[in-house]
A and B are shown apart, each in its own frame.
Chain A
Amino acid sequence: MDAPETGSEQVAGAVPVTVDRRAERAAAQRAKDRRGTLVATISTIVVLGALTALTVTSAGWPSVKEKFFDWDVFVDTFPDIARAFWLDIRVFVTVEIAVLILGLIVALVRVTTSPALFPGRLIAFAYTTLFRGIPTILLVYLVGFGIPGLQLTGLPTEPVILGGIALTLSYGAYVAEVYRAGLRSVHPGQREAALAAGLTEQQTMRHVVLPQAIRAVGPPLLNDFIALQKDVALIAIIGVTGEAFRQAQIATLDNFNYTPLLGAALLYLAVTIPCAYLLERWERSRDD
């Protein structure tokens, strides 16, 4: 800590008592910090120790350990699951882009006021209300089995595409509402200032309102992406093969050992934790 030194130069010995008080305060603060660290460490060890003890001394622990934490099974099955996870990533990225576009269109339609677009507003309102209210897992079933059931030519029948459509419809409704909240959060004075500068309504939206709205909703959008990243696993239920969760499920059937599921969980965490970290850093950097 060299702050007290510069302080002593500034006062140039005229008020020496200031320097002493600064040093005293700094020392007290350091002591307080040290105490805090010590207390935090001890309490962490005690709590984690107690939880571990409780788990490993439980009656079922030996069989759980064998069924969920088998290293050999992990090593055997993990490479296949990791390969399958590549499909999850591709589905996630594709669906994410589609969700961003769909959500933006729906939000923009909902905030228009032109009478000609009334049917659009009605459809957009019905869409967000319905699709936000239906559980994603149900939507995946309905789209996955319902659309092929129509037996119309030209409609996709690939489970992975149908699953992607279901996820897009579900998350598009959430993201549309996030965008809409962002658009409404921009102060009306911004719109007026842009119009006063001679911009058209569309230019005002594009150059003034939308950039501010998107900035405002960045963190909640990223939060929805993390949720979507996990929900990609849902497409396994309509028979998408080569997906990480499905692959792990298949692997558990070999010998009724659940370790492969933990392997899949680790892969999801490997993506979601960095995302959450980035989100937090982003939010913090915006506060200043």
Chain B
Amino acid sequence: MSTPVIDIRGVTKAFGEREVLKGIDLAVDEHEAVALIGASGSGKSTLLRCIDLLTEIDDGDILLDGEVTTDPSVDPVGVRRNLGFVFQSFNLFPHLNVVENVTLGVTRAHGIGKDEARESAIAILGRFGLEGREEERPRNLSGGQQQRVAIARAFATRPRAMLLDEVTSALDPELVGEVLAAVRDLKEEGVTMLIATHEMGFAREVADRVGFLHEGRLLEVGPSEQLLEGPREEATRKFLRRLLDARRV
């Protein structure tokens, strides 16, 4: 059996009195896409942030390609260089244009030459339908375009895994499709992904497995179809039913 790319073992995290993660175990294999679903506040974002070392865990371990990353002696910069993170609110750099947003990490963190980085950034942007927008400032783009730039930025360093934190939650409904298409594109290329999402249809289509987070615990994980059609746990059924009801109204 091969080593999982991301291996989460017994991770806990509390903010003051509030326990957000109460012992999470989850492994993501190479080329696998795992979707995390669950109500707001269930811990999805916190878990992704812990993997990228943007939030420190309290207990447990997280391994990247078999190496512990959450040990205090590990340099977080080296870990983050192997991961790509896409934020819910894009967080593009407003003082840089689109192509500079994509190349900043490639040139500064990975030491790739300016010209080479630019060329490959333009190619990635084109792939996500952003040709001709390279010199624009982020504020002149739609939300959907901005999020696609953010995905290109995270992917440009060819990370070992991508962490997608509710990448469509800040978008107007008509812009969701174009962003999901970019993620689908990554999946087709075999990029390893951990995706926190509220889009059930998308989770079923793109994810190999879906995990349901409930009050800080990973209640069940299973193949997408099975978990979304016939979940074992009552809480999962309730959550999915609530989502369906909400859509009907």
- Smallest CB–CB gap between B219 and chain A, Å? 28
- Smallest CB–CB gap between A16 and chain B, Å? 37
Q: Which residue of A lies closest to B81 (CB)?
A: A198
Partner of B87 from the list A192, A198, A203, A208 (CB cut-off 8 Å) is: A192
Q: Is the CB of A207 within 8 A of B85?
A: no
Note all chain B residues with C-beta closer than 8 A to A199.
77, 104-105, 108-109
Among A60-119, those with CB < 8 Å from B are none
Instruction: Give the one of B94, B108, B110, B154 with max A CB within 10 A.
Output: B108
- Smallest CB–CB gap between A137 and chain B, Å? 39
Q: Is the CB of A196 within 8 A of B154?
A: yes
Instruction: Give the one of A187, A190, A196, A199 with max B CB within 10 A.
Output: A196
Q: Does A122 lie at the interface of the complex (its beta carbon under 8 Å from any beta carbon of B)?
A: no
Q: Is the CB of B81 within 8 A of A215?
A: no
Rounded to whole angstroms, the CA-CA distance of A192 and B196 in the bound complex is 18
Instruction: Give the one of A190, A197, A208 with max B CB within 10 A.
Output: A197
Rounded to whole angstroms, the CA-CA distance of A208 and B104 in the bound complex is 9
- Smallest CB–CB gap between B106 and chain A, Å? 8
Q: Is the CB of B104 within 8 A of A189?
A: no
Q: Is the CB of B80 within 8 A of A203?
A: no
Partner of B108 from the list A189, A196, A207, A211 (CB cut-off 8 Å) is: A207
Q: Does A27 lie at the interface of the complex (its beta carbon under 8 Å from any beta carbon of B)?
A: no
Partner of A197 from the list B94, B95, B105 (CB cut-off 8 Å) is: B105
Q: Does B91 lie at the interface of the complex (its beta carbon under 8 Å from any beta carbon of A)?
A: yes
**What 0/1 pattern do residues 160 to 202 of A give for CB contact below 8 A with B?**
0000000000000000000000000001011011111111100
Q: Is the CB of B95 within 8 A of A195?
A: no
Rounded to whole angstroms, the CA-CA distance of A200 and B76 in the bound complex is 9
**What 0/1 pattern do residues 135 to 163 of B give for CB contact below 8 A with A?**
00000000000000000011001000000
Q: Does A212 lie at the interface of the complex (its beta carbon under 8 Å from any beta carbon of B)?
A: yes
- Smallest CB–CB gap between B96 and chain A, Å? 8
Q: Is the CB of B108 within 8 A of A193?
A: no
Q: Does B52 lie at the interface of the complex (its beta carbon under 8 Å from any beta carbon of A)?
A: yes
Rounded to whole angstroms, the CA-CA distance of A194 and B80 in the bound complex is 10
Instruction: Give the one of A193, A200, A203, A211 with max B CB within 10 A.
Output: A193
Note all chain A residues with C-beta closer than 8 A to B92.
193
With A189-B87, A212-B94, A215-B95 in contact, is A197–B109 under 8 Å at CB? yes
- Smallest CB–CB gap between A152 and chain B, Å? 45
- Smallest CB–CB gap between B51 and chain A, Å? 11
Note all chain B residues with C-beta closer than 8 A to A198.
77, 80-81, 105, 108-110, 157
Note all chain A residues with C-beta closer than 8 A to B157.
197-198
Rounded to whole angstroms, the CA-CA distance of A212 and B109 in the bound complex is 20
Note all chain A residues with C-beta closer than 8 A to B77.
195, 198-200
Note all chain A residues with C-beta closer than 8 A to B94.
212
Rounded to whole angstroms, the CA-CA distance of A196 and B105 in the bound complex is 9
Q: Does B54 lie at the interface of the complex (its beta carbon under 8 Å from any beta carbon of A)?
A: yes
**What 0/1 pattern do residues 95 to 108 of B give for CB contact below 8 A with A?**
10000000011001
Note all chain B residues with C-beta closer than 8 A to A203.
108-109
Among B59-118, those with CB < 8 Å from A are 76-77, 80-81, 83-85, 87, 89, 91-95, 104-105, 108-110
With A203-B108, A211-B95, A215-B95 in contact, is A196–B89 under 8 Å at CB? no
Q: Which residue of A lies closest to B159 (CB)?
A: A198
With A196-B52, A198-B157, A199-B108 in contact, is A189–B95 under 8 Å at CB? no
Rounded to whole angstroms, the CA-CA distance of A59 and B215 in the bound complex is 84
Q: Which residue of B lies closest to A201 (CB)?
A: B77
Rounded to whole angstroms, the CA-CA distance of A199 and B75 in the bound complex is 12
Note all chain B residues with C-beta closer than 8 A to A192.
54, 87, 91
Rounded to whole angstroms, the CA-CA distance of A75 and B203 in the bound complex is 84
Rounded to whole angstroms, the CA-CA distance of A212 and B92 in the bound complex is 12
Partner of A193 from the list B76, B83, B93, B95 (CB cut-off 8 Å) is: B93
Q: Is the CB of B85 within 8 A of A196?
A: yes
Note all chain B residues with C-beta closer than 8 A to A212.
93-95
Note all chain A residues with C-beta closer than 8 A to B76.
195
Note all chain B residues with C-beta closer than 8 A to A208.
93, 104
15 extra interchain contacts, Cβ-Cβ under 8 A, other than A198-B109, A200-B109? A192-B87, A192-B91, A193-B85, A193-B93, A195-B76, A196-B54, A196-B83, A196-B85, A197-B153, A198-B108, A199-B108, A199-B109, A211-B95, A212-B93, A212-B95
Chain A residues engaging chain B, CB cutoff 8 angstroms: 187, 189-190, 192-200, 203, 207-208, 211-212, 215
Name 8 A/B residue pairs within 8 A (Cβ), A-sorted.
Answer: A187-B91, A192-B87, A194-B105, A195-B77, A196-B83, A198-B108, A208-B104, A215-B95
